[in-house]
Amino acid sequence: MSSQVHGAQKFDQAKRAETVFSEDAMKTVQTIISHYPPEKIKSALLPVLHLAQAEFGGWLSPETMDYVASILKIRPVEVFEVASFYTMYNLKPMGKCVLEVCQTSSCWLNGAEDIVKYIEKKLNIKVGETTKDGMFSLKVAECLGSCGTSPMLQCGASYHENLTYEKVDAILETYKTEGKLRSYTDLDYKNTL
Amino acid sequence: MGRKLLIHNDHIPNIHTLAVYRANGGYASVEKALKTMQPDQVTDEVKKSGLRGRGGAGFPTGMKWSFLAKPEGVPRYLVCNADESEPGTFKDRYLMEKIPHALIEGMITSSFALGAKTSYIYIRGEYFYVARIVEAAIAEAYAAGWLGKNILGTDFSHDCYVQVGGGAYICGEETALLESLEGKRGNPRIKPPFPAVAGLWGCPTVVNNVETIAAVVPIVNMGGEEYAKIGVGKSTGTKLISASGHINKPGVYEIELGITVEDFIYSDEYCGGIRNGKKLKAIVAGGSSVPILPAALAITTAKGEPRLMTYESLSDGGFLTGTMLGSGGFIAMDEDTSIVKNLFTFSRFYHHESCGQCSPCREGTGWMEKILQKFLNGTANESDVDLLWDIQSKIEGKTICPLGEAAAWPVAAAIRHFKHEFIEIAQKKKFVDISHYDRLNKLVKA
C-alpha cells in the first residue's frame, strides 16, 4: 500500500515507523475529525495535512502522507492527489521560514517585484531556492488578500504588510534570531491590518 | 455619510469579543428569528430585501435559498464561502478579523431559515490566523449558548465549524469548494445537479459568501422592506468594497449601493483620489475577472450618464463599454501604469489557478500568459494581439466552471480598450519596466 505515494521522493520504511503525531497533535486531529459525520472523516484531510506539515519538518514526505492516510482510513494516493493540488503543501524540504511574496495586480502596482528583487539580493538566492543555512526559502504567491496593504509577504501564519525595504530587513533579522520553523498553524501570528 | 450595516462597529475596541459585540446589539437577529419567526418568514424577509450574492455572481440570495430541496430525513447544510481569493478582494478577511461574531450570527440565523443543523465556514488556508479568530469566536458562542443544543430554549440546535483550505483560487467556486470540504482536489462539478439538490456529501446545501451571510443580520433586524429602501433599483442595501491600487486611502469601505464611481474614487470619505497627484488611467471595478475600464468610461457611461456603484450601472453598455460589480474588488491604476503588464499578472494568476480539468482553460490560460510574456521581453509581433484575442474567445463559455470566463474577460477588455498599448510595444520591440516601489515610496537609492 505504501508504494503508491512515492512521487519523486523515496519511501523509507524505517522513517515511516517513526512518523507519529505528538499527543497534543493527535488530540487536535481527533477534534478536527469530530467536525464531520463518522463516515465522512476524509473531509478532515486538508486541516490534518496542515498540522502534519507543521509537525514533521515543514513539508509532506511520502512517509508523512502515508501516515495521514492511515489515520483517515483512506488510500495514500488520495492524500498525494490533494497534497499535490493545493499550493500550501510542500512536497520537498523547505527552509525554516518560507517567505511568500504576493505578486498579483495590486501588489505589483505597489512594488512587489522590487521587494522580490530586494530579498533575492539580500539572501543571495533566486525565487524557488533556499539559503545554504536552511533558514529561508523564497517563493512568489498569487493574491493573498492583502491588496489594500500591499506589497506584502506571508511567512507561516504571519502576514507582513505595507512592506518597505527597511521592514523586510527587520522581518528577516527577527526570524533569523528566532531561528525556528514557521508554520501556517503557528499561534503567534502577526498581522498589521 | 452613507449608511453602514455591516462594519459600522469596526472602530469599537474588542468588538471581536462576544461581550462587546453583544453589548452593541449583537445576536438580536437570532433572538428575533428563533423566538418570533418561522423559518420561511426569515427566507421571505431575505427575498423582500433584494439581497444579491456578494461573492461576485450577484444571484438573488432569497431565490437561492428557496431552491433548497427539503427531503425528509436528509440533513441540509449551510456552507459559508470564505475562500476569498479574487485578486483585489479582501473585504471578507476584514469582516471576519474585525467582527467575527457578525458572521457567526448570520450563520445561525440563516441556518434557522434553511433548517440546517450543521454549517461549515470554509476559509482559505492562507487566512489561517483569521480562522483562529473565527474559531475563538465560535467557542465563545458555544459557551454562551448561541450554538449547540436548543438555542435560546427553542427546538433549534446548531453546530458550526471552521474548515481551512489548502490554497487554491478555484475553491471559491461553490462546487469546487464542496469537493475541497470533502477532502478532495478542488475540481468543480458539472451542474446540474446544483448544490441546492446535491451538495455537501450529496445532501441539499446552500453556499453563500461571508458578506451575504453577514447581511442577513441587518435584514432580519430591520425587515426586508426597510433594507430594500437602501440602494437603487435591483441593487439594494450596502456593499463592502475593497479598494486598492494607486489611491490615497486603500482599505475596505461599506457603501450604499448607488453612489457614483467618481465620488468613490475622489471623495475623502472613500479612496481620497489618486496618489501623488497623478491622473486615473483605468479601474478594475469588481475583482480581477471583470473587464477593465478606461477612466472616462469608469466615471461616465457610454450614454453620458454618471456611472454608479450598482450592479446595473456598472454593467451598463455590456462588455463593450461596461463592466461588473463582481466581488467589489476595486483596483485603481494611475497614468503611468502599463495595462499590458497588469494584464500579465492577471493571466499568470489564472494560469496558476486553473484546476486543469477542462482543456480550453488549462491550455488557454498558459498560452495567454506565454504570449503576454512575449510583449514583456520584446519578442511579440502585432499579430500576437489577434492571437491573444482568438484564444480568449475560445475559452469563454467552453468550460465547466466560470474560471474560463474569468480568465478570458480581462484579456478581451484590455485589448478592447487599450489595443494601442499592445501595438506600440510590438512595434518598438521594447517594454519599459518602471519601478513602482521607487515611484511610490520615493526611496530611490543608488
Q: What is the ipTM of this complex?
A: 0.94
In a domain, B236, yes or no: no
- Could you write out the three-class secondary structure of B336-379? CCCHHHHHHHHHHHHHHHCCCCCHHHHHHHHHHHHHHHHHHHCC
Cα B277 to Cα B247: distance, rounded to the nearest angstrom: 10
Same domain? For B169 and B223 the reply is yes
Which of the residues B340, B437, B438 would you substitute to probe the A interface, choosing the one with the greatest number of A C-beta atoms within 10 Å?
B437
Q: Name the closest residue on chain B to residue A185, using Cα atoms.
A: B128
Q: Which H or E run contains A55? A: helix A45-55
B207-236 mean pLDDT:
97
More confident residue, A189 or B201: B201
CA-based nearest distance A44→chain B, Å: 6
- Crossing angle for the helix pair B128-143 and B100-114, nearest 10 degrees? 60
Distance, in Å, from the CA atom of A156 to the CA atom of B127, rounded to the nearest integer, reads: 10
Give the residue from A116, A104, A155, A142 showing the smallest Cα distance to B244: A104
Helix (H, G, I), strand (E, B) or coil at A117: helix
**Residue that terminates a domain, selected from B169, B195, B229:** B229
Model pLDDT, residue B67: 97
pLDDT above 70 (res B443): no
Domain shared by B63 and B194, yes or no: yes
Question: Residue A3: its pLDDT value, please?
Answer: 42
- Cβ-Cβ pairs closer than 8 A, A with B, add up to 181
Looking at the fold, whether B257 and B291 belong to one and the same domain comes out as yes
Domain-located, residue B41 = yes
- Asked whether residue B83 falls in the same domain as residue B223, the answer is yes
Q: Note the pLDDT tens digit of each residue in B248-292.
A: 999 999 999 999 999 999 999 999 999 999 999 999 999 999 999
Chain B hits for A191, CB-CB cut-off 8 Å, are: 97, 129
Average predicted confidence (pLDDT) for chain B: 96
Q: Do A147 and B246 touch (CB under 8 A)?
A: no
Please answer whether residues A41 and A30 qualify as being in contact, where contact means their C-beta atoms are separated by less than 8 angstroms.
no
B302 to chain A, closest Cα gap in Å:
26
Q: What is the set of domains in chain A, with CATH numbers?
A: 2-83 (1.10.10), 97-178 (3.40.30.10)
pLDDT at B139: 98
pLDDT at site B440: 83
CA–CA distance, B347 with B364 (Å, rounded to integer): 10
Is B398 contained in some domain?
yes
pLDDT digits (tens, 9 = 90+) for B129-180: 999 999 999 999 999 999 999 999 999 999 999 999 999 999 999 999 999 9
pLDDT computed for residue A193 by the predictor: 44
Q: Note whether B159 and B193 are same-domain residues.
A: yes
Q: Do B126 and A154 lie within an 8 Å CB cutoff?
A: yes
Taking only residues 30 to 59 of chain B, the set having a beta carbon closer than 8 angstroms to any beta carbon of chain A reads none
Amino acid A1: pLDDT? 38
Closest CA to A101 of A68, A137, A67: A137
Looking at the structure of chain B, the number of domains it has is 3
Within 10 A of A10 (CB to CB), how many other CB atoms are there?
Answer: 10
pLDDT, tens only, B26-42: 999 999 999 999 999 99
For cell 486543469, name the residue: B356
Q: What is the mean pLDDT of residues B229-238?
A: 96
- Which pLDDT belongs to residue B446? 34
State how far the alpha carbon of B405 is from the alpha carbons of B136, B391, B408, in Å: 38, 12, 5
In a domain, B217, yes or no: yes
CATH number at residue B57: 3.40.50.11540
Judging by DSSP bridges, how do beta strands B231-232 and B205-209 pair with one another?
Answer: unpaired
Let me know whether B110 and B219 are in one domain.
yes
Distance to chain B for A118, nearest Cα, Å: 11
- Host domain of residue B326: 241-334
* Confidence band, pLDDT 50/70/90 cuts, at residue B361: very high
User: 280-309 in B: which are within 8 Å (CB) of A?
Assistant: 284, 288
Q: Could you tell me if residue B440 is inside a domain?
A: no
* pLDDT given at position B432: 85
- Examine the domain organization and report whether B298 and B402 are in the same domain: no
Answer yes or no: do B108 and B250 share one domain.
no
Claim to verify: residue B283 and residue B208 sit in the same structural domain: no
- Residue B445 pLDDT level (bands cut at 50, 70, 90): very low
Same domain, B203 and B320: no
The confidence band for B439, taking pLDDT boundaries of 50, 70 and 90, is confident
Which residues of chain A are under the pLDDT cut of 70?
1-9, 191-193
Interface test with B, best of A30, A48, A65, A85 (most B CBs within 10 A): A85
Residues B172 and B273 in one domain: no
User: Which whole number is the average pLDDT over B200-206?
Assistant: 98
Residues B386 and B306 in one domain: no
Residue B430 is predicted with a pLDDT of 84
